């Protein structure tokens, strides 16, 4: 019985931790922004181009949220006109492996679904 209770406690703790993680990284765009910034600092306009489909208003909101959670930092550059650059923090870099794992899984999933669709069409054609 104690073994079952221990498993349930571990499961509950993992569920709580996953919930906390999803609260910080929730939404369609945050992981894409983090993934971009893991490779190099970028200005706002560069992020807007790289994260395809995001609106300027949503990008601003997501950047503020990521900054509040200490995953990225905002640097105002001494240029004319003034430019703002975003970079991943050391703490944010701890998510790089997670972004790579999610991307790898997504690639494999897409291949699987496309192959299943092709197989399904081939079967129905016979």
Q: What is the CATH number of the domain that holds 73?
A: 1.10.10.10
Q: What is the rounded CA–CA span in Å between residue 85 and residue 79?
A: 11
Res 92: pLDDT: 97
Q: What is the rounded CA–CA span in Å between residue 103 and residue 51?
A: 14
DSSP H or E stretch at residue 116:
helix 96-125
In a domain, residue 23? The reply is: no
pLDDT digits over 36-84, tens only?
999 999 999 999 999 999 999 999 999 999 999 999 999 999 988 889 9
Q: Is the pLDDT of residue 2 over 70?
A: no
In a domain, residue 109? The reply is: no
Number of domains forming the structure of the chain: 1
- Structure tokens given for 56: 């300027």
Model pTM? Answer: 0.80
In a domain, residue 4? The reply is: no
Helix, strand, or coil (residue 73): strand
Domain that holds residue 50: 30-94
Q: Is the pLDDT of residue 124 over 60?
A: yes
């Amino acid at each position: 019985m104690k073994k079952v209770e221990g498993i349930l406690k571990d499961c509950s703790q993992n569920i709580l931790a996953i919930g906390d993680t999803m609260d910080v990284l929730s939404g369609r765009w945050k992981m894409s922004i983090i993934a971009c910034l893991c490779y190099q600092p970028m200005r706002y306009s560069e992020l807007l181009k790289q994260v395809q489909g995001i609106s300027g208003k949503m990008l601003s909101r997501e950047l503020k949220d990521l900054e509040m959670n200490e995953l990225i930092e905002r640097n105002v550059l001494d240029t004319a006109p003034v430019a703002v650059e975003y970079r991943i923090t050391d703490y944010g870099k701890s998510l790089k492996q997670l972004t790579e794992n999610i991307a790898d899984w997504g690639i494999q999933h897409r291949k699987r679904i496309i192959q299943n669709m092709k197989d399904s069409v081939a079967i129905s054609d016979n």
